[in-house]
Amino acid sequence: MNLIESKMTSLPLSDSPITVGIIGGGIAGSTIALRLAEQGINVQLFEEGKSLVNGPPICHLHAGGNLYREISDQQCLTLLTQSIDTLRVYQHTSNIRPTVIAIPCNDAGNPNDLLPRLELLQRTYQALVEHDLKNKVLGEPKDYFKLYQRSDLERLALQDNPSQPLTPDQWMIPVAKSINLDQFKYPLVMVQEYGLSVFRIAATLTLALEKLTSCHVHTSTKVTSLAEKSTGWQVSYQDATNQRHQIHVDYLVNAGGYRTGTIDDLAHIPRQRMVEFKAAYVTHWSQCDAQWPEVIFHGERGTPNGMAQLTPYPDGFFQLHGMTQDITLFKNGLVASNANSAQPQLDSSFKAKLQQHWSQQEIDQRTQRAINHMAQFVNKFDQATVGGKPLFGAQQIPGNDPTLRAADVSYSHQRYARSEIVKASSALSVADAIIEQLATLDLIPTPVPQTRENEFPVAHQLSQHDIVSYAEKIAEERGFPISLARPIGH
């Protein structure tokens, strides 16, 4: 496993002779654009939407992947290193609060089965910090996880909720006071997996790219055709005023997110993948008088007892996932590509949702189901109400394994790369791989080692105040409570 500090980076290329086209301005496409533009490479970024990073409901930094019992240890290690990487680059985008993992009595899982993986992740985090102190972004390695027996929770339940929790025990107090201790197997686990703000990521990328003259951002722009040439690709596109344009790029990156297959089809490149439509629900619990950690109640995906995920935000707002077909998952929401097209075809009802066409009735129904699902574990959560419209999107999964969580980049032609991330923290790995591929093709000078901080000087100059202010503006423009853009634990 490569240590983060030893990633490869290209020398600044203020007079870069090449142009890289990137189709898709989500977390992957925008991160790749930032990575290249920070090095002075000419970038043309095409995004069909009105703004950048407007996709699936990013809310959790998977620093170890402990939400997912079914994935391999290697995927967990990859997610750990990628998450550390993400925090070093996007320093004002995290919500610094831990995550609690609880296994209900009616679940087949055993909490002790989690321990070997947790110990492996803790050792790996310790090694990363020993290699480079700047990797210590998840707290002290010895505190990466902590176990709580029933007696611990009984003791904590007698304490008052702190106004600003600082220690693991202080974060655990509202959980201990609000759950029925008879419902769970022990121990419960607290792990240093933080929150991640999609609105502050969008703000960081937008503000940084605006400062980089080597990056040209085309929003409200649709790529209509692609033609491969001996020296790259000819990209035809239509702008917001319906004007048609063509541009030659020396290298093309397909970062289309769930629509990556449509770009493969334009390029006449076959690819097998899946797409899954999912949604999370915004609730407001006005009676809440504590700062909560995130809490994951494990369960069997797709059943009525599917995992319940409680993600806290300031001012009593909580984002809920319930991994049942009545809440986060949808019947026929997972589809696969076929021999005729690299793009899996979602039903028209999902396409309508992706265009913001939700009925208020469905918003209310599914949000209430999410509240009810959480209330079986959290006392008095049935008092929560609908707090806004859902956070939703379609997630691409390369290949045919629906449990895949750590993925990054693939290549089909010499000057064509395809971003295939499943989790936001993988975006930087894709950007690194593309930098190295450009060097392999002799399109840029050979990379030299640099630290993450030196790779992203423009992004690192942004202040937390400016990022949060812009993130609040983005949340408001998209119709979400601005509390979802505000930080926790800073």
pLDDT in tens, the chain (490 residues): 344 433 333 334 445 589 999 999 999 999 999 999 999 999 999 999 999 998 777 888 888 877 778 788 998 898 899 899 999 999 999 999 999 999 999 999 999 999 999 999 999 999 999 999 999 999 999 999 999 999 999 999 999 999 999 999 999 999 999 999 999 999 999 999 999 999 999 999 999 999 999 999 999 999 999 999 999 999 999 999 999 999 999 999 999 989 999 999 999 999 989 899 999 999 999 999 899 999 999 999 999 999 999 999 999 999 999 999 999 999 999 999 999 999 999 999 998 988 878 999 999 999 999 999 999 999 999 999 999 999 998 888 887 656 544 557 888 878 999 998 877 778 898 999 999 999 999 999 987 878 888 899 999 999 999 999 999 999 999 999 999 999 998 6
Task: Tell me the three state secondary structure of residue 191.
Answer: strand
Contacts of 13 (CB under 8 A, 6+ apart): 39, 40, 41, 444, 445
Q: Closest Cα partner for 295 from 186, 195, 405?
A: 195
Cα 416 to Cα 142: distance, rounded to the nearest angstrom? 43
Between CA 184 and CA 154 the distance in angstroms is 13
Question: Is the peptide bond prior to 187 cis by the omega test (within 30 degrees of 0)?
Answer: yes
The reported pLDDT for the residue numbered 490 is 64
What residues are paired with 419 via a beta bridge?
409
Contacts with 62 (C-beta within 8 Å, 6 or more apart), sequence order: 79, 83, 193, 405, 423, 425
Summary count for the chain: helices (H), strands (E): 13, 23
DSSP 314-373: GGGEEEEEE-STTTTS-TT-EEE-BTTBSS----HHHHHHHTT---HHHHHHHHHHHHHH
pLDDT of residue 16: 56
3-state secondary structure of 235: strand
What is this structure's pTM? 0.92
pLDDT for res 414: 83
The position carrying tokens 């210590």 is 136
Q: What's the rounded Cα separation, in Å, for the pair 39 and 15?
A: 10
The SS3 of residue 184 is strand
User: Rounded distance, CA 182 to CA 179, Å?
Assistant: 9
Contact 356, 366 (CB under 8 A): no
Is residue 308 within 8 A of residue 297, CB to CB? The reply is: yes
d(CA 172, CA 147): 11
Helix (H) or strand (E) segment spanning residue 86 = helix 73-89
Tokens of 357: 């066409």
Other beta carbons less than 10 A from residue 376's beta carbon:
14
**Tell me, what's the pLDDT at 402?**
61
Q: CA 68, 72, 76: angle at the middle one, nearest 5? A: 65
Residues listed for the chain: 490
pLDDT for 8 equals 33
Residues near 67 by beta carbon (within 8 Å), at least 6 away in sequence:
60, 99, 101, 193, 296, 307, 309
CA atoms within 13 A on the CB side of 375: 14
Pairing of strands 215-218, 42-46: parallel
What is the pLDDT, as a whole number, of residue 10?
A: 35
Contacts of 73 (CB under 8 A, 6+ apart): 117, 120
Q: What is the CA radius of gyration of the chain?
A: 22
Nearest CA to 21 out of 456, 417, 430 is that of 417
179, HSE (Cβ side, Cα atoms, 13 Å): 28
Decide: 219 and 240 in contact? Cβ < 8 Å. yes
pLDDT of 485 reads 96
| 430/256 Cα distance (integer angstroms) | 13
